[in-house]
Structure 1
Amino acid sequence: MSTRTLAVLSAGLSTPSSTRLLADRLTTATVAALRARGEDATVEVVELRAHARDLADHLLTGFANTALQAAVDTVVGADGLIAVTPVFSASYSGLFKTFFDVLDKDALTGTPVLLGATAGTARHSLVIEHAMRPLFAHLRAVAVPTGVFAASEDWAGAGGVDQQLAGRIERAAGELADLVTGRPARGGRAGRRPADPFADVPSFEDLLKGR
């Protein structure tokens, strides 16, 4: 049994968060779907609320600090991504968008992604189609056909989740597992980490010496 890496990106702002709850449900279902297909999985979770200031600093300076770089490496190095956002003003949150704004434009090319969103009302149920899919199409990621939206009432069923929501979670997880298992393993963070454009820059001392 080979091992695949799953990155889980949650943009929830509160603790506890319905966004994180949905992300956890999607993760559990995807891990089970991978194992049913003969693949083990390791999971790394990125809580964007912990990187809000890091992301603002990156926008201003163009550089990621150590904590944010680790989060970026987790996402771009994964075999599959689960990305979940709360709905703000009929779209994904600004924090969610900012994370993808600081990624290299080719970082997610071909990456299988499961899209999820949460809101207080079902009025926002099309946010995945009209906002999230265009974003990930621009990034040339491969979004699974089934997006999973959860409104507040969807958590009121048996076991804490509505049966229709549970069905969408299971279907989307199976679609992500199919895409992940159909691709060569990337080898975790090191497999997709972007090259450091400043890695070969000579020291200031060497520049002064004309080297």
Structure 2
Amino acid sequence: MTAPGGERTIAVVTAGLTTPSSTRLLADQLAAAVRDTLDGRGIPRRVVTIELRDVAHDLTNNLLTGFPSESLREVLETVVKADALIAVTPTFSASYNGLFKMFFDVLDDKALVGKPVLLGATGGTERHSLVLEYALRPLFAYLQAVVVPTAVYAASSDWGPHATALRARVERAATELVDLISHEPTKPPIDPFANPTPFEDLLKG
């Protein structure tokens, strides 16, 4: 575990299949928000982005032989040793894609125990946004990771006029991840109804 005040390493795993991809774009936005939040708190950091498409053949060979290549071993060690993980996948057939699943299949099933994780997914339509809750969260719950409350889904429409709403979700998720990394509790949102004005005072105008 990183000592207080020490450098935090953030591993970013993205399972996009094309270059460029909206999955990589979302991963970059999440990583930038986490980096900026850490910088704002004066916490040194290192962000390492892993494109799974670059090790796709190595993943297949690992599944077939049971042994990782040297390049894949380095990628796996980066994730294992990281202080936190950002994991982003495109939505395929209402779930994460096969490349994403292969990576976490070959990763040791104890590698993410207690590790803070921020989840993200992309898709063509908002109808698939629940993929984060019914597909990704159960996977990382099985791996015993500590997943932040806010997961971020980006549909095609989120990259247009509604980019502001996406940015707000990204920043909230990044803050939650940094709170876990820095061992600071997330502040609950202010309840506007916590201290209501007495009805008698309202009648007085």
Given the two structures, how large is their TM-score scaled by the length of structure 2? 0.86
Which letter maps to 1:123?
R
Over the matched positions of the two proteins, sequence identity in percent amounts to 59
Tell me what 2:121 maps to.
Answer: 117
Tell me what 1:70 maps to.
Answer: 74
Tell me what 2:168 maps to.
Answer: 167
Query: 1:15-30 residue pairs with structure 2 within 5 A?
Result: 15-30=19-34
Q: Contact 1:6–1:44 at 8 Å: present in 2 too? A: yes
Query: 1:51-200 residue pairs with structure 2 within 5 A?
Result: 51-157=55-161, 162-182=163-183
> RMSD over aligned Cα, in angstroms?
1.1
Which letter maps to 1:19?
T
**Number of matched pairs:** 180
Tell me what 1:8 maps to.
Answer: 12
Q: Which has the larger radius of gyration?
A: 2
- Cα deviation, 1:23-44, whole Å, max 9, x if unaligned, reads 0000000011112222021011
- Cα deviation, 1:39-58, whole Å, max 9, x if unaligned, reads 02101111000111101100
Deviation at 1:104, TM superposition (A): 1.1
- Cα deviation, 1:152-173, whole Å, max 9, x if unaligned, reads 010013xxx6111100000000
| Structure 2: distance between partners of 1:171 and 1:65 | 37
| Structure 1: distance between partners of 2:37 and 2:6 | 14
Q: Contact 1:31–1:40 at 8 Å: present in 2 too? A: no
Tell me what 2:35 maps to.
Answer: 31
| Structure 2: distance between partners of 1:119 and 1:74 | 27
| Structure 2: distance between partners of 1:80 and 1:39 | 14
- Cα deviation, 1:129-170, whole Å, max 9, x if unaligned, reads 01000000000000000000000010013xxx6111100000
Segments ≥4 residues shifted beyond 3 Å: none
Q: Which runs of 5+ in 2 are unaligned?
A: 185-205
Deviation at 1:8, TM superposition (A): 0.3
| Structure 2: distance between partners of 1:144 and 1:71 | 23
Which letter maps to 1:173?
A
Q: Contact 1:22–1:150 at 8 Å: present in 2 too? A: yes
Deviation at 1:182, TM superposition (A): 1.4
Deviation at 1:2, TM superposition (A): 3.0
Which letter maps to 2:8?
R
